[in-house]
């Protein structure tokens, strides 16, 4: 095998936990608040992304009413201000609205990706801090406790459980914020168009939220069972590999003794 062009100095590193407090949602929330500038930036990006996305469903219906049904209104009047009267044709209106729709969609997509990137950075920083504290605590665990817990259980906690928190902070929270802003924007538009219909839809929202929460509890239970199953699998796999290494070492010792 070709030797590596560089060498790594494996020196033991002593980690110190930043706090002796156990990890709760309150402590995780405090860790997130340590990145307040990035958090504010992510919320502002989500707000502008919502502003770019919410008007999209309204443009084409307004275009149909004002151009195809020949009922000039706000959009036609606004577009007529920018060109001469010779350009006031259906083709001009359709092309301009199509271009605006594409631009708004691209702006919303770019801002959405940017916002997710901000939350991903925050989530990675929080996950790094959690893993650092866990490693610091593992250094102080006695061998008896380590044998009782098992190396698979420890690795599952540091990998799977922390990855679940990482995914929640980096993906789920970002989507929830976008969804909340979108809900507020759509509600305002609905009240502007038809307040009776908007009120009827909002009154049905508690029922939708109830079923969503019921489904969320099932998802939470299934996720916990998944992490437990991965814990057991990693524990069994680690013990099997350790046993194979011990058997191999015993066989080598036996062969040397016979020689």
| Domains present along the chain, CATH in parentheses | 25-251 (1.20.1560.10)
Mean pLDDT of the chain: 75
Band (pLDDT 50/70/90 cuts) for residue 8 is very low
Provide the residue count of the chain.
Answer: 259
- pLDDT at 110 (0 to 100): 92
| Rounded mean pLDDT, 207-220 | 76
Q: How far apart are CA 181 and CA 137, in angstroms?
A: 40
For residue range 103-153, what is the model confidence (pLDDT) as tens digits?
988 998 999 888 888 888 888 888 888 888 877 777 766 666 666 666 666
- pLDDT at 93 (0 to 100): 76
Degrees, nearest 5: CA angle 185-186-189: 90
| Rounded mean pLDDT, 55-75 | 73
Q: How far apart are CA 180 and CA 192, in angstroms?
A: 19
Band (pLDDT 50/70/90 cuts) for residue 2 is very low
| Helix, strand, or coil (residue 28) | helix
Flag the least confident range among 13-17, 69-73, 173-177: 13-17
- pLDDT at 7 (0 to 100): 44
Measured between alpha carbons, how far is residue 88 from residues 60, 67, 71, 73 in Å?
18, 10, 14, 13
């Amino acid at each position: 095998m070709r030797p590596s062009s560089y060498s790594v100095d494996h020196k033991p590193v002593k980690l110190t936990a930043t706090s002796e407090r156990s990890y709760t949602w309150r402590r995780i929330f405090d860790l997130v608040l340590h990145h307040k500038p990035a958090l504010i930036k992510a919320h502002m990006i989500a707000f502008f992304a919502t502003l770019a996305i919410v008007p999209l469903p309204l443009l084409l219906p307004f275009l149909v009413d004002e151009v195809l049904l020949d009922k000039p209104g706000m959009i036609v009047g606004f577009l007529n201000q920018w060109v001469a009267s010779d350009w006031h044709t259906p083709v001009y209106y359709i092309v301009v609205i199509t271009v605006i729709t594409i631009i708004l969609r691209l702006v919303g997509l770019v801002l959405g990706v940017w916002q997710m990137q901000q939350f991903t950075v925050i989530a990675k920083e929080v996950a790094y801090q959690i893993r650092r504290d866990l490693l610091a605590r593992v250094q102080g665990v006695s061998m008896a406790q380590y044998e009782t817990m098992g190396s698979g259980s420890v690795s599952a906690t540091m990998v799977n459980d922390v990855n679940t928190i990482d995914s929640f902070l980096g993906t789920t929270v970002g989507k929830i914020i976008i969804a909340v802003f979108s809900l507020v924007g759509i509600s305002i538009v609905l009240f502007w168009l038809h307040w009776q219909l908007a009120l009827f839809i909002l009154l049905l929202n508690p029922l939708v939220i109830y079923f969503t929460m019921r489904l969320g509890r099932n998802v939470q239970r299934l996720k916990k069972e998944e992490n437990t199953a991965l814990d057991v699998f990693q524990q069994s796999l680690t013990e099997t590999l350790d046993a194979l290494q011990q058997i191999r070492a015993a066989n080598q010792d036996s062969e040397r003794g016979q020689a």
